[in-house]
C-alpha cells in the first residue's frame, strides 16, 4: 500500500490545499499531487518536510492499522495484531516505507513507540552526493550504527564516511543528509528520540 493517501487525508483534515502544502515544503503542487496519488515516490528530505508541515508522526505512515486501508508500500504480509503486547515483530512483517533512490525504512517495533522511532535503514548502491537535495532538519536526537556497507553523511558542514561498526549521534535540528556512494547497500540501525507526535 502507499503512503500518499495517508498524506492526502492528513492535508485535507488540516484544511490545507495542495498548493499551500507545496509552498510550505518548497516543491511543486504537481509533485504533491503525484505523491498523494502514488505516482511519485518522495525523497527522504521531501518526506520529512511533508510530515513536519502536516504535523504527523512518521509512525503514522508505517502503521497500516492506524488509518484503515491507506498505508505503507509493502509487499510483505501485514504485521500481526499486536494490541495484546507481544514483544516480537517478525522480519517479514516489518512495516516499510520505500523512498526515492531506493532508500528503505523498516520499523523494528511491533507497534509504534511513544516519542521514539526504531528503524533499519537501507540506502541503495551507487548514489552520487545529493547536492540538489535539501538537508533534513527536525526535532529530536538521532543514534545510528552501520551494519553493512558504508554510509556517507553530512551533519551541518561536516562530512563523514561511516563504515561497518561505526556509530553516529547528533541533534536532528542540525541540517543533515545521507547517501551511499559505495558498491554495496548501506544498512544501519537507527533510533530517533523525542520526535513529536
Residues 103, 51: contact at Cβ < 8 Å? no
Cell 511491533 locates to 110
Residue 45 CA to residue 100 CA, distance in Å, equals 10
Q: Which helix (H) or strand (E) covers residue 6, if one does?
A: helix 4-13
Q: Which helix (H) or strand (E) covers residue 7, if one does?
A: helix 4-13
pLDDT of residue 103: 87
Residues 149, 187: contact at Cβ < 8 Å? yes
Q: Which helix (H) or strand (E) covers residue 49, if one does?
A: helix 44-53
Q: Which helix (H) or strand (E) covers residue 117, if one does?
A: strand 116-123
Q: What share of the chain is helix, strand, coil (3-state, %, to 5)?
A: 25, 25, 50
Parse the chain into domains and list their residue ranges. Answer: 4-76+89-193
pLDDT of residue 128: 60
CATH homologous superfamily of 4-76+89-193 equals Jelly Rolls (2.60.120.10)
pLDDT of residue 98: 84
pTM equals 0.72
Query: pLDDT (tens digit, 0 to 9) for every residue of the chain, 197 residues total?
Result: 468 888 999 999 999 999 999 999 888 999 999 999 888 888 887 888 888 889 887 777 775 533 333 333 444 344 444 445 678 888 888 888 888 777 899 999 888 777 888 999 999 886 665 555 678 888 889 999 999 999 999 999 999 999 999 999 999 999 998 988 788 999 999 999 976 54
pLDDT digits (tens, 9 = 90+) for 129-181: 555 567 888 888 999 999 999 999 999 999 999 999 999 999 999 999 898 87
Q: Which long-range contacts (CB under 8 A, 24 or more apart) does 109-115 make?
A: 110/79, 110/82, 110/86, 111/63, 111/82, 111/83, 112/57, 112/59, 112/60, 112/62, 112/63, 112/66, 113/59, 114/197, 115/193, 115/194, 115/195, 115/196, 115/197
In degrees and rounded to multiples of 5, residue 107 shows phi and psi of -75, 135
Amino acid at each position: 500500500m502507499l503512503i500518499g493517501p495517508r498524506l492526502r487525508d492528513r492535508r485535507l483534515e488540516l484544511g490545507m490545499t495542495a498548493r499551500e502544502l507545496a509552498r510550505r515544503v518548497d516543491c511543486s503542487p504537481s509533485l504533491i499531487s503525484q505523491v498523494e496519488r502514488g505516482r511519485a515516490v518522495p525523497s527522504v528530505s521531501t518526506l520529512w518536510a511533508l510530515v513536519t508541515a502536516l504535523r504527523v508522526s512518521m509512525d503514522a505512515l508505517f502503521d497500516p492499522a492506524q488509518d484503515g486501508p491507506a498505508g505503507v508500500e509493502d509487499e510483505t504480509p501485514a504485521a500481526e495484531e499486536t494490541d495484546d503486547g507481544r514483544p516480537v515483530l517478525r522480519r517479514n512483517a516489518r512495516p516499510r516505507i520505500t523512498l526515492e533512490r531506493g532508500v528503505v525504512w523498516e520499523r523494528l517495533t511491533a507497534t509504534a513507540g511513544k516519542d521514539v522511532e526504531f528503524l533499519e535503514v537501507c540506502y541503495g548502491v551507487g548514489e552520487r552526493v545529493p547536492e540538489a537535495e535539501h538537508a533534513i532538519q527536525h526535532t529530536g536526537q538521532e543514534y545510528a550504527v552501520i551494519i553493512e556497507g558504508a554510509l556517507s553523511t553530512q551533519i551541518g558542514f561536516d562530512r563523514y564516511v561511516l563504515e561497518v561498526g561505526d556509530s553516529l549521534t547528533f541533534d536532528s535540528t542540525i541540517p543533515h543528509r545521507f547517501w551511499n556512494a559505495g558498491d554495496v547497500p548501506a544498512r544501519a540501525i537507527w533510533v530517533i528520540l523525542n520526535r513529536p507526535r
